[in-house]
Structure formats: C-alpha cells, structure tokens
C-alpha cells in the first residue's frame, strides 16, 4: 500500500535543491534585516555624536555653543525681535525655509531688511490656542521656526511646560530643525539678551536714526555658568547685522546752524528691541 523504497538519486537531488533555495532565501532575509539594523544604529549614532551645524551669521556665532546653530536645538532670545530675526538670517541666506509664528506685528519689510529671503519665509501671525501643534507641523517642513509663545504676550496664558518642550525637542532632533523662541524656553541650548543699546545718527535735535549698537550677552550650560557677550550693530546703517568693529562708525550730525542743509524735524520712531 505504501511505497517504502529509498529515494532515487534524482529525487534526492531535487529535494536538496529545494532545501538549498529555502536556506538561501532565509539567509538573504537575515542579511537584509541586519543591514537595516546597522543603518538605523549608525543613524542614531550620527544624531547623538555628530550634530549637524546650520549656516549661522558670523556676528552671532561667538554667542552660540559650538559657534553655530545646532540642528535639533532650541534657543531663547529675550525681548528682542530684531535679534531673534538675526538668528534666522544665516539659514535663510543659505537657502533654508524659515517660519515666524505668533508675531502679528512683524512686517515682511522688516524681515527682508535684515536679510531674510521672503520667498522662503512662512508667517503665521495668529496660530490660536493650538499653537504648539502649528509649530510641530512647521518643524516637518521648514528648517528654522521662530515662535513667540502666548505666555510671552499674555501673562495669563499657560507657559510652555517641560514635557511639551521635550516632545517638541524630540521632533526637532528627528527633523534636524531649529527652534528660536522669543522669550524663555525650557532646556534652551543658549539664552541671548540685549543688555545695552544705543542709536547712532542723531545730532543736536535733528538727523535720523541710522543704526543701533547693542551689547548681546549669551548664557549656556555648555559654558559652565559663564556668559559671553559681544558688541553688535543691530541693525547697521545698511540694515544688516554686523560686529561693531566691522562697520564704519556713523558720524553724528554737526552741531549748531552751520550745516549745509536745514534741520528736519524728527519723526516719532517706535523701534523693536
């Protein structure tokens, strides 16, 4: 009833061939899995050990840990919209997309005057109560996001918590993006603030504002509690950000009535810090 004979030579060869094919497929699958795991591990190591630096304005590099904006990092700028926009100038000039969230009074002309490429600038003046979701979505598509949290404009609004900042930080690292906060931000890599400011270009009751010199101080955990500071034009007479020693000083208008042109009344100026 049953065949109990041994396998013939041809049958045994066919069986061995099928087994060899199955073993070969299994080996290929294992090799593919191992290679994928190796690539993931190497990618994680690169993100943790070799943080990519973004193009940064040279005048601001000395105020940042590592001399540049670090991909995946968050930075806080206290009460100076001009300085915060200056942080975006380097990446923007290099061709990166940037976004500004929660600054309804910011004009495109002011951003363009500081060197930002308006063709690659996204403005979200009124993000609403879900502003963190808006920022998170923007991180997926742009390189640098400048945000003013509602608590900075309205003291009654809830502040950014450590947990929310940590979640957003993970997304920044995954996308290799940068967040610049106008106001404090939990876990910021550096905190910058203007400690001294003076305008140039005014004479004895006449003239016009030509530029502003500021002292910017920066604090970072990387510097073990020490601060760094630098004297900058913010902005210089030509509208750019620059070290004070890199720009020809602006002469004040001459005193008295021996000027070649009659004095003109000053317009009231409301300048952002």
Give residue-wise pLDDT tens across range 12-50. Answer: 455 455 555 555 556 667 777 776 665 555 445 444 445
Tell me: do 166 and 123 sit in the same domain: yes
Are 61 and 37 found together in one domain?
A: no
27 and 40 housed in the same domain: yes
Of 191, 218, 238, at which residue does a domain stop? 191
pLDDT single digits (tens) 146-162: 999 988 877 777 788 99
Class of residue 270 by CB neighbours under 10 A (exposed 0-12, middle 13-18, buried 19+)? exposed
Q: What's the structural domain count of the chain?
A: 2
Looking at the structure, tell me whether residues 124 and 37 fall in a common domain: no
Give a yes or no: residue 269 inside a domain. no
Question: What pLDDT score does 65 carry?
Answer: 94
Considering the domain boundaries, does residue 243 fall inside one? no
**163: in domain:** yes
Q: What is the pLDDT of residue 24?
A: 57
The alpha carbon of residue 192 and the mean position of all alpha carbons in its chain are separated, in whole angstroms, by: 13
- CA nearest to 113, candidates 86, 148, 153: 86
Residue 257 is predicted with a pLDDT of: 37
Q: Is residue 159 part of a domain?
A: yes
Secondary structure of residue 60 in the 3-state scheme: helix
Q: What pLDDT is recorded for position 11?
A: 52
* Residue 39 shares a structural domain with residue 61: no
Spacing of C-alpha 81 from chain mean position: 14
Two structure tokens written together for 208 = 């016009």
Those residues whose C-beta lies under 8 Å from the C-beta of residue 207, and which sit 6 or more positions away, are 201, 252, 253, 263, 266
Residue 32 shares a structural domain with residue 114: no
Distance, CA of 168 to CA of 174 (rounded, Å): 10
What's the pLDDT score for residue 199? 84
Residue 53, SS3 per DSSP: strand
* b/e burial code for range 160-181 (CB count within 10 A of at least 16 → b): beeeebeebbebbbebbbbbbb
Whether residue 83 sits in one domain with residue 22? no
Looking at the structure, do residues 142 and 23 belong to the same domain, yes or no? Answer: no
Helices (H), 50-197: 58-61, 81-93, 108-113, 131-139, 150-153, 162-175
Environment class of 220 (CB within 10 Å of its CB; exposed 0-12, middle 13-18, buried 19+):
buried
Which residue, 159, 191, 223, sits at the end of a domain? 191
pLDDT at 263: 37
pLDDT, position 196: 93
Domain that holds residue 28: 14-48
Would you write out the chain's pLDDT as a tens digit for each of its 273 residues?
445 454 455 554 554 555 555 555 566 677 777 766 655 554 454 444 456 899 999 999 999 999 999 999 999 999 899 999 999 999 999 999 999 999 999 988 889 988 899 999 999 999 998 999 999 999 999 999 999 998 887 777 778 899 999 999 999 999 999 999 999 999 999 999 999 998 876 655 555 667 889 999 999 999 988 899 999 998 888 878 888 886 555 554 343 333 333 333 333 333 344
Burial 18-31 (b: 16+ CB within 10 A, else e): eeeeeeeeeeeeee
- Residue 59 shares a structural domain with residue 81: yes
Residue 271 placed within a domain? no
Give helix 162-175 / helix 131-139 axis angle, nearest 10°. 20
SS3 182: strand
Q: What is the pLDDT of residue 109?
A: 86
pLDDT of residue 259: 37
Regarding whether 36 and 63 lie in a shared domain, the answer is no
Q: What is the pTM of this model?
A: 0.70
Cα dist from 205 to 152, 211, 236, whole Å: 35, 17, 21
Please indicate, yes or no, whether residues 42 and 170 belong to a single structural domain of this protein. Answer: no
Q: Which of 139, 161, 191 is the last residue of a domain?
A: 191
Asked whether residue 141 is domain-assigned, the answer is: yes
111 and 30 in a common domain: no
User: Is residue 273, in this structure, part of any structural domain at all?
Assistant: no
Residue 196: helix, strand or coil by DSSP?
A: strand
50: which residues sit within 8 A by CB, 6+ positions away? none
């Amino acid at each position: 009833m049953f065949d109990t004979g041994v396998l013939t030579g041809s049958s045994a060869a066919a069986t061995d061939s099928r087994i060899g094919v199955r073993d070969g497929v299994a080996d290929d699958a294992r090799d593919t899995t191992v290679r994928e795991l190796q690539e993931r591990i190497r990618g994680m190591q690169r993100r943790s050990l070799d943080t990519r630096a973004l193009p940064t304005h040279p005048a601001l590099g000395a105020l940042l840990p590592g001399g540049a904006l670090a991909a995946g990092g968050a930075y806080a700028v206290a009460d100076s919209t001009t300085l915060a926009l200056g942080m975006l100038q380097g990446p923007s000039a290099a061709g990166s997309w940037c976004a500004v969230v929660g600054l309804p009074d910011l004009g495109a002309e002011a951003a363009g005057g500081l060197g930002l490429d308006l063709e690659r600038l996204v403005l979200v003046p009124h993000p609403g109560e879900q502003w963190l979701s808006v920022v998170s979505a923007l991180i997926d598509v742009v390189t640098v996001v400048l945000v003013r949290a509602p608590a900075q404009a309205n003291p009654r609004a809830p502040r950014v918590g450590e947990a929310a900042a940590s979640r957003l930080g993970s997304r920044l690292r995954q996308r290799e993006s940068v967040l610049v906060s106008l106001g404090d931000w939990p876990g910021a890599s550096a905190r910058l603030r203007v400690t001294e400011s003076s305008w140039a270009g005014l004479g004895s009751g006449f003239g016009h504002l030509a530029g502003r010199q500021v002292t910017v101080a920066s604090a970072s955990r990387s510097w073990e509690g020490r601060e760094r500071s630098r004297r900058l034009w913010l902005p210089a007479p030509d509208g750019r950000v620059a070290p004070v020693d890199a720009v020809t000083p602006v002469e004040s208008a001459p005193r008295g009535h021996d000027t070649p042109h009659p004095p003109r009344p000053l317009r009231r100026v409301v300048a952002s810090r």
